[in-house]
Amino acid sequence: MAFLTKLSKISPLARVCLSRCMSHVPENTVYGVPTPQTADRRVTLNQLKQKYKKVEPIAVVTAYDYPSAVHLDITGIDICLIGDSASMVVHGHDTTLPISLEEMLVHCRAVARGAKRPLLVGDLPFGTYETSTIDTAVKVLREGGMDAIKLGGSPSRITAAKAIVEAGIAVIGHVGLTPQAISVLGRFRPQGKNVSSAIKVVETAMALQEAGCFSVVSECVPAPVAAAATSALRIPTIGIGAGPFCIGQVLVYHDLLGMLQHPHHAKVTPKFCKQYACVGDVIKKALSEYKEEVNNGLFPGPSHTPYKMNPDDVNGFFKELEKLGLNKAASAATAAAEKMNTAQRPDTETSQKHLMVEKWLLYENQRSSSAPPRKPTPTVVLLLTPAISPLLSSSSPSPLFLYKITRGLGSSSLALNFFKHLQQNTPSQHTHFLSHPFQAPLEQVNRELDGGSRLSELYQASKEWGIPLTVNAAAILIRGFGRHKMVDESVILFKELDPSVKNTHVRNVFIDYLLRNGHVKYALNVLEEMLEPLSEVPPDEITGYIIFSELLKGDRKGERNLSQEDTINLVFKLGKHGVFPKDNLAYPIWFLGRNGDIKRMHTLVADMKENDIQPSAVTSVILINQLSDGIIYNTVIDGLCKVGRQEEGLRLMYRMRSMKGLAPNVFTYNCLIDGFCNCGDIEKGKELFDQMNEVGVSPNVITLNILVDGMCRHGRINGALNFFSGMQGNGLKGNAVTYATLITAYCDIDHIVKAVDLFDQMLASGCSPDASVYHRLISGLCKAGRMDAASNVLSKLKKAGFRPDIVCYNSLVRGFCKKNMVDKAYDIIKEREEAGVKPDSVSYTSLIAYFCQNGNFGLAREAMEWMINEGHVPTIATYGALIHAYCSNGNIKKQ
């Protein structure tokens, strides 16, 4: 009742705001009772601060999906980072640049569902800092379910960090190697290795602290630099490749678990990462076993076919199918029911079979030991031979079960002895059961240094015993013969293999063996069968890797058994099957260019592009040297500019101009201007623009937008507007992108009059603003206190079919509160609720600031408690509003 009395004495807005806030509080906290802290509650910034004060380490790991998030949750990791490294370890890119905000949000949401305890931090991906940084950060929190965001620490990012913190969002900074700066750095390289670079790392970290970051990540810097930064800061440092002197450490989930066993991942795994497990090997083994069981009809077995029909229902089902004329289906259903009933066996029988094998092994060990063997007991004698046969009865364990037992016996002699017992007591009609257990002694013998002759003996024995080889057994024999230089045996084996066993995998193993030993022609004969149009064993990526890594090496065995022309033809034949040499196209492109076969060179480059194959550095150089076509020139120039090598692209453009029949076009110049603008060399971009007019290349709206965006991003906003006005005078009109860039830039520097003027021009020109333009302009008008104009733009936004986002709503509420326009603020809050947009930390902070402004400190503190119970972390702005109010009221001790 006391609370309601307080509520009745404050303004209608306060009552409405509080009622709206309370509508989002869980039932067990509706009455303001704080939930007790438990071990599985979300880690908070206050807890991290306490760990920092106590010098307790902070463990941070990345996660990108629900399963990895659950793993982090149950192991008590402090911070879960949903990093843009997902671009590399999940999406397979070579850098962190390609991943988009929408893709990052998918990862964030998945992790948020799985990790209930760690503090969740989402990376702002590349390209989201330049426009509406705060809106992007809010989106990551609201739509991604994050508690904080992380961003890099360049000077421009420090400004962004400060703005985000002031908006009420917690931020982790990032210094040292910032992977998003790869286009400037050229490659991933450590930072802080010289004096100036080391000082820059420490100064940037301190600037991020001053901007309000609650922690800073130090990546790939020498240990003394990391130690200096840790000492200079009053917030935790998180190291990654920065030595042991940071407060916390972070590693990528896939790296520390050894998750990916693949050439791409090996290329991007950093040298500072310690692998705590080899999960990739376990996964590979499990998948191989699954595939093998499926191929051999072993999965699913009875234990994994749990759903049953009783006999009466089976008979009824059978009769109904017959009535429908589905006699064949009825027979199939009946046969399946009989087979499943026959296959069932009690657990006690399985245990007895394990006991049989254990007793046999005990007897075998006694018999083979140096000590005088004990006389076998009658039970063991009875189990030795007669007991093996029941293992292969109709209720026998699967062949994979026998294989695991045989492989687990520890040595080739024991495995072979046990297999012989199986073979001697297996009816001839059941020899196919022995294919899998036969693989076990093959594996054991293949590991022995002198196992070549024994492998040959085992193969001959398998033919005598009538035991068909599995795919894996065939591959083991081929590799084993190859390792022991037994060429003839390997060739005979391959010829004698059943066609069903000679799949793509076995052929790849055989081709690899032949090429490594100089038998190129024989290898190509095997490959030709795979390249036939309707081949049942087509080549795959592994085939391509084997072929090109061996053939393109040249004189491996003293002679090249494949001509240059034949090599090129082979490239195209494999290409028809979608197989390309990922890193070995340099030679065929060079050969085609040298021989003037430009048409086929273009075809090969087009195929590369279609299959998303990026040329290696060597391939790029060869392409440049062989260029004779404008399209290829532009493709290479564009690629160079995108990776920060615009100077090389410029030289290539001048070379293009010097060639007869070739000339740069507007696409060429746009690529170069964009490259120079991205690195901040605006003057060079404008120089190229002037050059376009000199050589008769007409700029288009893309050219205009590139230069306007570049100038705005680098603080030359008035220059961008003058340039735009001049272009309009010359007949080149801007589009929605042009206006949006300028409006956003003027809003960012609080020049709201010019932003409104541009907005009016945009509408008058017929360009349609998107939602982000409306949101940014409304926020700017609210910040400037022009609430009538903001309301007018809000009406236009709704008329255009858009709706405000949470940032827009917060700006309006905050603006109306500052103007003491209570009813208007109430209308906005009510509209937000009806639209289903939940309040965020900024919403609560705005209310707390309003209550403080009106002297309602009790309600302000209660609002902050509700804010925490809703899972939002009070920010510097929240505490600042309270501290300012208490100070203004003369209550210094309360702060």
Which residues are part of the catalytic machinery?
Answer: 219
Q: What is the DSSP letter of 151?
A: -
Number of alpha carbons in the 13 Å side-chain half-sphere of residue 892: 0
CB contact at 8 A, 489 and 481: yes
Q: What is the DSSP letter of 615?
A: P
642: left (phi over 0), alpha (psi -120 to 50) or beta: alpha
Q: How far apart are the first and last CA of the chain?
A: 28
Q: What is d(CA 855, CA 363) in angstroms, rounded to the nearest whole number? A: 89
What does the chain come to in residues? 895
CA torsion sign, 806 to 808 to 812 to 815?
A: positive
3-state secondary structure 354-397: HHHHHHHHHHHHHHHCCCCCCCCCHHHHHHHCCCHHHHCCCCCC
Q: Residue 291 carries which side chain, given as an amino acid letter? A: K
Residue 843, C-beta contacts closer than 8 angstroms, at least 6 positions apart: 806, 809, 810, 813
> Any long-range contacts for 191-199 (C-beta under 8 Å, 24+ apart)?
191/219, 191/220, 191/221, 192/221, 192/222, 192/225, 193/222, 198/222, 198/224, 198/225, 198/228
Segment (H or E) for 804: none
Strands (E), 279-378: none
Q: Residue 231 carries which side chain, given as an amino acid letter? A: S
CB contact at 8 A, 240 and 272: yes
Least Cα distance to 735 among 713, 712, 708, 711 occurs for 708
Q: What tokens does 129 get?
A: 């800092």
Residue 863, C-beta contacts closer than 8 angstroms, at least 6 positions apart: 18, 21, 844, 847, 848, 851
Q: What is d(CA 861, CA 499) in angstroms, rounded to the nearest whole number? A: 78
Q: What is d(CA 506, CA 218) in angstroms, rounded to the nearest whole number? A: 48
Least Cα distance to 209 among 164, 158, 244, 247 occurs for 158
CB contact at 8 A, 241 and 219: yes
Cis peptide before 270 (omega within 30 of 0): no
CB contact at 8 A, 581 and 544: yes
CB contact at 8 A, 398 and 451: no
Q: What is d(CA 889, CA 525) in angstroms, rounded to the nearest whole number? A: 92
In 3-state terms, what secondary structure has residue 215?
Answer: strand
Beta bridge partners of 148: 121, 170
- Residue 634: phi and psi, rounded to 5, are -65, -40
In 3-state terms, what secondary structure has residue 588?
Answer: helix
CB contact at 8 A, 202 and 228: yes
Token look-up 């100064």 returns 203
Q: What is d(CA 895, CA 887) in angstroms, rounded to the nearest whole number? A: 8
Q: What is d(CA 467, CA 461) in angstroms, rounded to the nearest whole number? A: 9
CB contact at 8 A, 385 and 421: yes
Q: What are the distances in angstroms from CA 263 to CA 92, 192, 253, 542?
A: 11, 29, 18, 12
Q: What is the DSSP letter of 79?
A: E
